[in-house]
Amino acid sequence: MNLLYAQSGGVTAVINASAAGVIDAARKHVAIGKVFAARHGILGLLDEALYDTAGVDTAALLNTPGGAFGSCRFDLPSEADEPAVYDRLFAVLQAYRIGGLLYNGGNGSMDLIVKVAESARRRGYPLISVGVPKTVDNDIEGSDCCPGFGSAAKYLATSMREAGRDVAAMTGRSGRVFVMEVMGRNVGWLAASTALAARSADEAPHIVLMPEVAFDEEAFLARVRQVVERLGYCAVTVAEGLKGADGRPLMEQARDARGYVQLGGAGEEVARLIGERLGYKHHYGNPDYLQRAAGHWMSATDREQAYAVGAAGVELLMAGQDGVMAAIRRLSDQPYCWDVIAVQAASIANLERRVPRAFISDDGLHVSELGRRYLLPLIAGEIAVPCTDGLPDHYIMDFPLMPRLLPDFRRSA
């Protein structure tokens, strides 16, 4: 039996650790032949753009951020709507004698696992499909946390602590405010993680705005004024998906034909509001791709978990557990202990795991102690990244694609 591995959605600092886990685990099984990797996720499978991973250096892959095999954003349609897509998908699987699919992605990727598994059963095709979770947003249900989140959280908390030192040093009589917007889409996990930078109420961030709490302009401005009057400056974290009282995002960048919303600008809007209403000097920053690509500052816990869900995915597949996701289960906070279990992909696909209200302060403007206790172990541990000429030595995939066995495929318009 051959396996196929693919990466999907926004990549992370540790998604390649999951790839390494898959490849290493598969190499230990004599019943597994080749491990193929699709270029650009499911699109690579449909295009028959496949790599043979036999020559991949998994030790080097562990320390490389981004998606070594390329990723994509593609929602697999239902088989009833586009049967030709499924015909093509299974034609490629059959041509390469692939009996196991490991799809590394977020909520939508778990929906793909469900659809492919159901189609395989209907067709009588011998395929085991397993989801391998990842997302910096930390919003996959069924898993205590998501690989990719811990490293992004570590980077953002570090950035906020360092920015706080800068703003505090430059504070003058007129007051100064720094606003940092972070990713997360409709949930506030990444925003919440920046709270770890503050060891006391006087340290940045002084305010954390999350989508789980409707933005109250007056309460927010009052808190900014209080902090500036006490310290001379204020640092604010804003989640990109911050919502107003009407439940709509404070800012949107664009919306495509399928309704996908590109968020962004909430932090800039909050900074503008501070300047107009309070008159403080203000700066706005958006780390954008940097927060999910910072392989130089991985969380050791995060990389270990990313590798573990990849390896566990292979074991679940070999055990015949079809249509499941390899999920992280927290066993204790202190000491922090966890393991990997199987959850049914159908039970969690396309759901969003929001920050629990108990993890948010009573006033909705910061993170509670319970939230800090949840977050802290996820950023633990540092990794010495190999460098050349003073810069991280990333592993670059330069293998040729497998020769095509089938005619080109073109989807109908």
Q: What is the mean pLDDT of residues 129-138?
A: 98
| pTM metric for this prediction | 0.96
Q: Is the peptide bond before 335 cis (omega within 30 degrees of 0)?
A: yes
Q: Tell which residue, 97, 171, 131, 133, has the closest CA to residue 17.
A: 133
Closest CA to 305 of 10, 6, 17: 17
Q: Give the Cβ contact number of residue 268 at 10 Å.
A: 16
Give the helix/strand (H/E) hosting 246: none
Q: How far is the CA of 134 from the CAs of 166, 255, 292, 347, 383, in angstroms?
A: 33, 24, 11, 17, 19
Element housing 212 (H / E): none
156-161 mean pLDDT: 98
pLDDT given at position 171: 87
On the CB side of 121, CA atoms within 13 Å amount to: 9
For residues 171-192, give the mean pLDDT: 94
Instruction: Share the mean pLDDT of the chain.
Output: 95
Q: Which pLDDT tens digit goes with each residue over 59-83?
A: 999 999 999 999 999 999 999 999 9
Please check whether residue 224 is in contact with residue 234, taking contact to mean a CB–CB distance below 8 angstroms. Answer: yes
Percentage of the residues of the chain whose pLDDT score is greater than 70: 97
Question: Maximum Cα–Cα distance for the chain, whole Å?
Answer: 74
Confidence grade of residue 154 (pLDDT, cut at 50, 70, 90): very high
Asked if residue 278 lies in contact with residue 50, where contact means CB atoms within 8 angstroms, the answer is: no
> In the sheet where 50-52 sits, what is the strand order?
50-52, 35-38, 2-7, 98-105, 128-133, 324-332, 337-344
Question: What is the model's pLDDT at position 174?
Answer: 84
38-to-11, 79, 103 alpha-carbon distances in Å? 15, 21, 10
Task: Specify the pLDDT at position 259.
Answer: 59
pLDDT tens, position by position, 295-349 = 999 999 999 999 999 999 999 999 999 999 999 999 999 999 999 999 999 999 9
pLDDT at 250: 87
- Residue 132, beta-bridge partner list: 104
Cβ neighbourhood burial of 174 (10 Å; 0-12, 13-18, 19+)? exposed
Q: What is the pLDDT of residue 413?
A: 47
Report d(CA 78, CA 322) in Å as an integer.
19
Q: Give me the mean pLDDT over the 345-365 stretch.
A: 97
210/366 Cα distance (integer angstroms): 9
Helix (H) or strand (E) holding 297: none
Closest CA to 353 of 108, 141, 134: 141
- Distance, CA of 225 to CA of 204 (rounded, Å): 15
pLDDT at 7: 98
Give me the active site residues, please.
137
Per-residue pLDDT, averaged over 387-404, amounts to 95
Mean pLDDT lowest among 112-126, 134-148, 163-177: 163-177
Give the Cα-Cα-Cα angle 23, 24, 26 (nearest 5 degrees): 65
Mean pLDDT over 44-49 rounds to 98
Q: Distance between CA 225 and CA 278 in Å, rounded? A: 8
The amino acid at residue 392 is: P
Assign 1 a pLDDT band (cuts: 50, 70, 90): very high
End-to-end CA, the chain:
34
- Write down the pLDDT at residue 253: 66
Residue range 239-297, pLDDT digits in tens: 999 999 999 888 776 655 555 566 889 999 999 999 999 999 999 999 999 999 999 99
Return d(Cα 137, Cα 106) in angstroms, integer.
Answer: 9
Phi, psi for 383 (deg, rounded to 5): -125, 130
Element containing residue 10 per DSSP (H, E) = none
Contact, 261 vs 155, CB < 8 A?
no
* Helices 83-95 and 107-123, packing angle to 10 deg: 80
Strand order across the beta sheet in which 233-239 lies: 207-209, 233-239, 176-182, 281-285
